[in-house]
């Protein structure tokens, strides 16, 4: 008798669970399930291929710097960056940097079995509420001229397209100038193909160390960080990471923070020659 009772009990519990689940799953949640499912690859490709918004003609500047850019008083982006002014309007970048490349980085992961989800542009998160699951999409955009100037931005919204727009807008407001050079003891060619010295960037638990590499070595780094360095115009680098590098956004931010450090280190005129340091854009490069 006892054995029979114990057999029955789990069934009862399961039955109860089913009932409970049925109670929760009302019409609203079923309707939202479609939104929750991952963005189809075709849609993602379309969103990726959309041109980055540039509103130069109808722009009415609101900040002092913006007015100067519109008047033509400031013609070089490096002037703004050297003065340490925060860029408040993305149109400044649109106007001063017409030849800008941009890309969305793969920060998300589609749902897949055995932990092998494909890396995707949009990272999806959900908030559980009484009304059901509220999904949000976030992404990271990188822009640059492949010649010493690079920007990175994070965007998050309820839909994919606004998230992308926000990311590009933020990347334009977050533009930095970098230093290039040849700090590799194996090379010593004095050309700005790599970085002049070792730098370290941190975000969360992730630490990214970038080291100068000899000419022709290429970018020995994780594939998404590679895109940032390509945008910045660095051709050869060695890297090392520590911490939870699986959290993509932290890894990318750590990489960007390392690039920021390139301008923070003080260098003398002797270093400039021996390491072949070039700051920002190289104008004579052809
Ligand atoms: Zn070299």
pLDDT in tens, 212-233: 999 999 999 999 999 999 999 9
The residue among 157, 188, 158, 182 whose CA lies nearest residue 170 is 157
What is the model's pLDDT at position 30?
43
* Local structure of 57: helix, strand or coil: coil
Q: Please identify every residue whose CB atom is under 5 Å from ligand 1, which is an ion.
A: 182, 187, 189, 215
| Whole-number Å distance between alpha carbons of 138 and 62 | 28
**Are 147 and 233 a contacting pair, CB within 8 Å?**
yes
Distance 27 CA to ligand 1 centre (A): 64
Banded model confidence at residue 113, pLDDT cuts 50, 70, 90: low
Between residues 14 and 44, the one the model is more confident about: 44
Task: Quote the crossing angle between the two packed helices 248-264 and 223-232, to the nearest 10°.
Answer: 30
Nearest-angstrom CA–CA distance, 187 and 151: 29
pLDDT of amino acid 51? 78
Taking only the tens place, the pLDDT of each residue in 39-49 is 788 888 888 87
Rounded to the nearest angstrom, the distance between the alpha carbon of 276 and the centre of ligand 1 is 8
Mean pLDDT of 242-254: 91
Side-chain-side CA neighbours of 208 within 13 Å: the count stands at 30
pLDDT score of 115 = 62
Q: Is the pTM higher than 0.75?
A: yes
Q: How far is the CA of 77 from the centre of ligand 1 (A)?
A: 27
| Predicted pLDDT of residue 18 | 54
């Amino acid at each position: 008798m006892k054995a029979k009772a114990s057999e029955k009990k789990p069934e009862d519990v399961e039955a109860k669970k089913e009932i409970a689940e049925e109670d929760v799953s009302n019409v609203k949640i079923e309707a939202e399930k479609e939104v929750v499912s991952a963005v189809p690859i075709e849609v993602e490709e379309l969103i990726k291929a959309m041109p980055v918004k540039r509103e130069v003609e109808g722009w009415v500047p609101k900040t002092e710097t913006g007015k100067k850019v519109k008047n033509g008083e400031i013609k070089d982006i490096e002037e703004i960056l050297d003065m340490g002014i925060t860029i408040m309007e993305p149109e400044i970048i649109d106007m001063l940097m017409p030849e800008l490349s941009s890309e969305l980085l793969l920060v998300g992961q589609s749902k897949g079995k055995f932990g092998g989800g494909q890396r995707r542009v949009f990272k999806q998160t959900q908030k559980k509420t009484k009304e059901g699951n509220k999904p949000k999409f976030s992404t990271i955009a990188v822009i640059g001229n492949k010649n010493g100037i690079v920007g990175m931005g994070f965007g998050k919204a309820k839909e994919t397209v606004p998230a992308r727009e926000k990311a590009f807008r933020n990347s334009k407001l977050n533009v930095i100038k970098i230093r290039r050079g040849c700090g590799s003891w194996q090379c010593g060619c004095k050309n700005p193909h790599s970085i002049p010295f070792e730098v370290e960037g941190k975000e969360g638990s992730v630490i990214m160390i970038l080291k100068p590499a000899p000419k022709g070595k290429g970018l020995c780094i994780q594939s998404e960080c590679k895109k940032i360095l390509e945008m910045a115009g660095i051709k050869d680098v060695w890297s090392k990471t520590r911490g939870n590098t699986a959290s993509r956004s932290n890894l990318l931010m750590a990489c960007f923070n390392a690039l920021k450090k390139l301008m923070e280190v003080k260098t003398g005129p002797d270093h400039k020659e021996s390491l072949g340091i070039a700051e920002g854009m190289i104008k004579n490069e052809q």
